[in-house]
Amino acid sequence: MSRQCYPLTEYARPQSLPHMFCPGCGCGQVMNYFIHAIADLGMSLDEIVAIGGVGCAARIPVYLKTDTLHGVHGRTLAWATGIKLHKPEIPVVIFAGDGDAGSIGGNHFIQAARRNLDVTFIIVNNLNFAMTGGQVAPTTPLMATTMTTPYGSSEPPFDLCLLAVSSGATYVSRWTTAHGFQTIKSLKKALTHKGFSVVEIISQCPTHFGRYALGSGNPVDLVKWIKERTVMKSKVSNIEEEQKQGRFVLGEFQDISRAVYSGSTVFETGC
Ligand code: SF4
Ligand SMILES: [Mg+2]
């Protein structure tokens, strides 16, 4: 099918293509799932601001026909806060890597969740700092080999969904790139949710994580490796405690409503 005929071409910014993702990278799948969610909801990209910081996933907004902001590492939520305080009616979507969300922008992440900032925060978790060459990240599985942990990472990883829930986020879910249907459904919920909505997607980085941790740059091997480590939230209580270690628990972790942080909250309370 030619690029002109592809039904979702209208959502991509042709002058930004071709994209920079490596062959087999999960970032392209995440972008595809996001476009499907937008198309299913009948939303127009014209009405959305999409923000990316630094990292492979942070490039996704550059390829979308949204109003796009692409800037420094870990500061996406600061920009989103400014936009929402000025124009609360505009939907704001952030594409963050796991480094952007859990490390460099970690404090913004927990404060935005605490405030219930009304934005959609999509975390593409490829388990390492990919764009800079495959260094260990706060999400790297225990004992996984990376460029900077040749003997395995000795630090336990963050559970970004539990961090979001305990910080106050009002919609939180986790899937993998191998769960397209569920991811699109969660993205649709997140995009229509009022409050801080987080969708974490475990994604394959064959170029760095695959090569260092598995000894294979084949994306299929890495997707299989990720899938084998998943367990549904509803089934997690059925498995032994020691078998829970290193698993990616999938499902929805939070779906509640409470007051959002907005211009009127700030001005009415005099904060
Ligand atoms: S370095 Fe990894 S995450 Fe980045 S584009 Fe390549 S495969 Fe994807
Ligand atoms: Mg990363």
Q: What pLDDT does 270 receive?
A: 45
Q: Which tens digits make up the pLDDT trace of 76-86? A: 999 999 999 99
Closest residue by Cα to atom 1, ligand 1, is 130
**Ligand 1 pocket member 207 (CB < 6 A):** yes
Ligand 1 near 163 CB (within 6 A): no
Cβ neighbours, 10 Å, residue 43: 15
56 lines ligand 1 (CB under 6 A): yes
- For residue 56, the ligand 1 atom closest to its alpha carbon is 4
7 lies in some domain: no
In a domain, 9, yes or no: no
Is position 10 within any domain? no
Residue 11 forms part of a structural domain: no
Residue 56 in any domain: the answer is yes
Q: Does residue 119 fall inside a structural domain? A: yes
pLDDT tens string 106-165? 999 999 999 999 999 999 999 999 999 999 999 999 999 999 999 999 999 999 999 999
pLDDT-above-70 percentage for the chain:
95
- How many structural domains are present in the chain? 1
The pTM (predicted TM-score) of the whole model is 0.95
List the residue whose alpha carbon is closest to atom 2 of ligand 1.
205
Tell me, yes or no, whether 241 lies in a domain: yes
Is 113 within the bounds of a domain?
yes
The residue segments making up the domain with residue 160 are: 21-269
The mean of the pLDDT values for the chain is 93
The CATH number of the domain where 231 resides is what?
A: 3.40.50.970
